[in-house]
A and B are shown apart, each in its own frame.
Chain A
Amino acid sequence: MSEPLVVLVADDDDDILLLVTTRLRRDGFTVIQARDGDEALDVALERRPAIAVLDIGMPGLDGLDVVRAIRADDATKDMRVILLTAKAQESDVRRGFEAGADAYVKKPFSPADLSARVKELAGS
């Protein structure tokens, strides 16, 4: 791994944003933060990170909207996307995959596990 991989992390909860960011930075990723869906989409389209970790429940565009927009744009359609949510229902999981997410992580999660998923997706 020559260049550190760029990961977009979007969550409206500062504590969780910091939690994910800390873990990923410790594991050697470059992290760009976003605090709502619109910001996340702007960053995704401009910076084209390799991986995006998106919270579903955010003000403005929610995580699902952002995934759809990423998939709709040719430049970003192959980006790896992990959805984070406190909604732990099967229907939510299904909606997440339908929107185009690659993986799904339920809150609360183990930061180490999340980091492992990110690494796994980065390698594929």
Chain B
Amino acid sequence: MRFAGVSRLTINPESRLAAAFVAGGVVLIAVYFAFPAGGDAQSAIYDTLGVLSVLAILWAIRHYRPETPLPWILFALGNLSFVVGDIIFDVNPDISSPSVADGFYLAGYPLIAAGLILLFVHAGGHHRRAAVAEAGIATFAFALIQWTFVMHPALTGSGTYASRVVAATYPAGDVVLLAGFAGFLVSPAWRKPAFWLLLAAVASLLIGDEINGLANSYTAGSGVDATWMLSYVLFGAAALHPSMRELAEPRRAARLRVSTWRIVLLTAAMLSPAAVLLIQYTRGENLEIPAVVTAEVAISLLVMWRLTGIVRALERLRMRERQARAEAEAAREQLSQQNELLLEADRLKDEFVALISHDLRTPLTSIVGYTELALDDEMEPPLDEERRSYLEVVARGSERLLRLVDDLLFVARLQAGKGLQLELKELDLAAVAAQVVDEAQPRAATKSLTLRAVADGPVIVEADKGRLFQLLENLISNAIKFTPKDGTVEVRASVARDGGVLEVSDTGVGVTPREADRMFERFFRASSAVTNQVPGTGLGLYIARAIAEAHGGRISATSDVGQGTTFRIELPAHATPQQADGVLVA
């Protein structure tokens, strides 16, 4: 991320200004070291960089208009404070310590730290226990090191009391600055180029101070100046990058990840009291017990606080997971209950259909039987033609009604899971086709249809003759129903590898491919059947499929609207009856 940010810095047009500022700054720093140490030229370059940094920040505030300009104003003031200190120091190189310059220098630290902390708060960092705890742990560890190795030696060193206090205040400023730095580093602020530039600026400042503090002496024009000058340049560049606007915007979706470097830094911070004691012990110094104990207690409490947060978060997560699981279980339970209800409803419906079918047979027996008796030629006196034709209509109607009842009963039985019991015998499909076609001829004739059975020779398979009749009868009835006058219906029997094939094709209205896929479903009716009010229950093809599959065969249909439909039934040479349910649940 950091490197991605840097590389974007060099290629992205909006990063050009900041990049140019860094480039120019680095060139000036290089030029600085070309001049004699401690000379006026060096002072001029140093002060120019500082002034440029302050101006860059002020220009950026005016130009980019961040929603919360205060942190940037504080950065500008902090750097200005340093610049003023520099200038005073340059003008009076021999000024005695402590001096006014020290006042300006020291004022810079809290200003910059305050700016960082403001950014941290604006980005929502204070709502994050992890961020606050980690920044605290790092700050206490750093404070302990500063106190033990820089501040305490400075306080107890040589010089006037005032100069010693001032010397010890610098590292204290660094502690404040580091608190801001650490907080900003772990804050949920956007990881934009401005974020990294700002971090680098503060880091550069801190590194310079530490090198200088530990060296315990400063000479103008030494290498450490580079870090401070670079800090100026980076502050300016951070402000000049357009992403400075977004630094204070809270990044809600961001989750803090526990990355490796984070664990390493925290571990180092936690080990710092022990390390400090060890270093002091090996050096033979007086052990800073009160400072070490204070830091250790503070760090331990923060670690505990942080851990509690993690444990609580885990507990919340577990609770949510349990809740989600319970909800899923409840949903599953409900689903299975509904499923049971559905099955029960389905069973009741099938029972109902079976009962109705049975009860319909008794009155139908009277209708069919008495109509036949009435039409009996031997009856005296004989029927006149008009009454005879009426009774013939009754006979045809009851025949249709009977077929419907039979179909319903058949389907109800299939649905009840009772399956089909086949009486298997070797038979000739061509002969069966010819017979069914013969029986249907009168119906085809009423619509002037050409109905024919075609076969090259006998097609022998093992099958239930009655069921095959029923199947073919269903398909041929359909074909006759859906084929307009003067059309053709053809039933073709042919030998196939390991079995036989029956094809029933018509020149009828056809269906769409979508409907062709659904035709074999129970109660499915093609849209053409519905719009043309062709009578039917939507059971015929369902029954046809059940019969084909009960033989271990399959049925399929190809159709084109306006072109006609072809049904193809493939039957194995030896029927392999299969349990009907499963296959037949439509």
Given A26-B378, A108-B367, A108-B402, is A86 in contact with B361 using a C-beta cutoff of 8 Å?
Answer: yes
Contact A13 B409, beta carbon cutoff 8 Å: no
Quick check: is A15 within 8 A (CB to CB) of the other chain? yes
Distance from B486 Cβ to chain A, minimum over Cβ atoms (Å): 34
Q: Does A72 sit at the interface, judged by CB under 8 A?
A: no
Report the bound CA distance from A90 to B402 in whole Å: 18
Q: Which residues of A contact B523 (CB under 8 A)?
A: none
CB-defined contacts of B365 to chain A, threshold 8 Å? 16, 19, 86, 107-109
Binds A, one of B168-176, B324-332, B368-376: B368-376
A20 to B368: give the CA distance in the assembly, Å.
12
Is B406's CB under 8 angstroms from A88's CB? yes
CB distance from B575 to the nearest CB of A (A): 16
Contacts of B367 in A (CB 8 A): 108
Known: A23-B373, A107-B361, A111-B373. A90 touches B421 (CB 8 A): yes
Residue of A nearest to B359 (CB): A86
Bound Cα distance A90, B367 (Å): 24
Check B376 against A16 for contact (C-beta < 8 Å). Answer: no
Contact between B361 and A88, CB atoms less than 8 A apart: yes
Is B568 an interface position by the 8 A CB rule?
A: no
A86-B362, A89-B413 known; A108 and B376 CB under 8 Å?
A: no
- Beta-carbon contact of A86 and B372 below 8 Å: no
Which of A87, A88, A90, A110 touches B368 (beta carbons < 8 Å)? A110
Bound complex: CA A3 to CA B364 (Å) = 34
When distances are taken between beta carbons in the complex, the residues of chain B under 8 Å from A22 are 373
Indicate with 1 or 0, residue by residue over A5-30, a CB within 8 angstroms of chain B CB atoms: 00000000101100110110010000
Instruction: Indicate whether A87 sits within 8 Å of B373 (C-beta atoms), given known contacts A19-B365, A108-B402.
Output: no
Q: How far is the CB of B508 from chain A (nearest CB, A)?
A: 31
B358 an interface residue at 8 Å Cβ cutoff? yes
Q: What's the minimum C-beta distance from B423 to chain A, rounded to whole angstroms?
A: 9
Q: In chain B between 393 and 419, which residues have their CB closer than 8 angstroms to a CB of chain A?
A: 398, 402, 406, 409, 413, 418
- A112 CB within 8 Å of chain B: yes
The interface residues of chain A lying within 8 Å CB-to-CB of B406 are 88
A87 neighbours in B (Cβ, 8 Å): 358
- Measured in the bound complex, the distance between the Cα atoms of B379 and A22 in whole Å is 11
Max chain A CB contacts within 10 Å: which of B358, B361, B369? B369
Complex formed: what's the CA distance from A26 to B377 in Å? 12
Separation of A110 and B395 alpha carbons in the complex (Å): 11
Q: A117–B452 Cα gap in the complex (Å)? A: 33
Which residues of the other chain, B, contact A107 by a CB distance below 8 angstroms? Answer: 361-362, 364-365
B358 near A86 with CB under 8 A, answer yes
Partner of A111, one of B358, B362, B369: B369
Determine whether the beta carbon of A108 is less than 8 Å from that of B421.
Answer: no
Q: Which residues of B contact A109 (CB under 8 A)?
A: 365, 368-369
Tell me which of B361, B373, B409 contacts A108 (CB under 8 A).
B361
A113–B369 Cα gap in the complex (Å)? 10
Q: In the complex, which residues 84-124 of chain A have their Cβ closer than 8 Å to any Cβ of chain B?
A: 86-91, 107-112
- The reply to whether A110 and B369 form a contact with Cβ atoms under 8 Å apart is yes
Say yes or no: A111 contacts B366, CB within 8 Å: no
Write the nearest CB–CB distance from A29 to chain B, whole angstroms: 15
Bound Cα distance A112, B398 (Å): 16
A88 and B344 alpha carbons, distance in the complex (Å)? 25
Q: CA A99 – CA B402 in complex, angstroms?
A: 27
Asked if B361 contacts A19 (CB within 8 A), the reply is no
Closest approach, in angstroms, between the C-beta of B364 and any C-beta of chain A?
4
In the complex, the answer to whether A26 meets B376 with C-beta atoms within 8 Å is: yes
A90 to B414, CA, bound (A): 13
User: Which chain A positions have C-beta within 8 A of B369?
Assistant: 16, 19-20, 23, 108-111
Report A-chain residues with C-beta under 8 Å of the C-beta of B421: 90-91
Taking the closest CB of chain A, its distance from the CB of B413, in whole angstroms, is 7
B413 — which chain A residues lie within 8 A by C-beta?
Answer: 89
Report A-chain residues with C-beta under 8 Å of the C-beta of B398.
108
Distance, CA A26 to CA B359, complexed state (A):
28
Within the assembled complex, what's the spacing in Å between the Cα atoms of A115 and B398? 20
- Scan B369-392; emit 1 where CB is below 8 A from any A CB, else 0: 110110010100000000000000
Q: From residue A110, how far is it (CB to closest CB) to chain B in Å?
A: 6
CB distance from B292 to the nearest CB of A (A): 95
- From residue B42, how far is it (CB to closest CB) to chain A in Å? 113
In-complex Cβ contact of B366 among A16, A26, A88, A91 (8 A): A16
Q: Which residue of A lies closest to B402 (CB)?
A: A108
Q: Which chain B residue shows the least CB distance to A13?
A: B362
Alpha-carbon gap, A88 to B359, bound state (A): 12
A15-B366, A90-B421 given as contacts; is B361 within 8 A of A111 (CB)? no
The answer to whether residues A88 and B372 also contact, given A13-B362, A16-B366, A107-B362 and a CB cut-off of 8 A, is no
CB neighbours of B409 from chain A (8 A): 88
Complex CA–CA separation, A4 to B358 (angstroms): 35
**Interfacial chain B residues near A110, Cβ < 8 Å:** 368-369, 372
Contacts of A13 in B (CB 8 A): 362, 366
In contact, A111 and B364 (Cβ under 8 angstroms)? no
Q: How far is the CB of A65 from chain B (nearest CB, A)?
A: 20
In the bound assembly, the distance between CA atoms of A112 and B361 in angstroms comes to: 18
Of B362, B365, B398, which is in contact with the most chain A CB atoms at under 10 Å from its CB?
B365
- Within 8 Å CB of A19, what residues of B? 365-366, 369-370, 373
> A112, B372: Cβ atoms under 8 Å?
yes
B520-555 vs A, Cβ < 8 Å mask (1 yes, 0 no): 000000000000000000000000000000000000
B401: nearest residue on chain A (CB-CB)? A108
Q: List 5 A-B contacts (CB under 8 A).
A: A19-B365, A19-B366, A19-B370, A23-B373, A109-B365
Please name 7 further chain A to chain B contacts, defined as beta carbons within 8 Å, in addition to the given A15-B366, A16-B362, A23-B373, sorted by A numbering.
A19-B365, A26-B376, A108-B361, A108-B364, A109-B365, A109-B369, A110-B368
| 6 interchain residue pairs of minimum CB distance | A108-B365, A86-B361, A107-B365, A108-B368, A19-B369, A108-B364
